[in-house]
Amino acid sequence: MNNHESFDELMVQIKTVRKLMISTGTTKGLDHIETIQHSQRLDKLMNQYQFQNKL
């Protein structure tokens, strides 16, 4: 997998997890454990995105 494909896959993951987080937060509440887990996963993906953009 080249860098472009890796970047594209990362963007898909970020968009997917963001949608899950918003949906879960809307239906179950912002303080629900599932919403928090999606938020934490999104944080990790965003950190990875920022790290890759520095290279």
Banded model confidence at residue 53, pLDDT cuts 50, 70, 90: confident
Q: Distance between CA atoms of 26 and 8, rounded to whole angstroms? A: 27
Banded model confidence at residue 55, pLDDT cuts 50, 70, 90: low
Q: Distance between CA atoms of 31 and 44, rounded to whole angstroms? A: 19
Q: What is the pTM of this model?
A: 0.87
Asked if residue 1 has pLDDT above 90, the reply is no
Question: Model confidence over 5-49: pLDDT tens digits?
Answer: 788 999 999 999 999 999 999 999 999 999 999 999 999 999 999
**Residue 4: its pLDDT value, please?**
76
Q: How many C-beta neighbours within 10 Å does residue 24 have?
A: 19
HEC string of the chain equals CCHHHHHHHHHHHHHHHHHHHHHHHHHHCCCCHHHHHHHHHHHHHHHHHHHHHHC
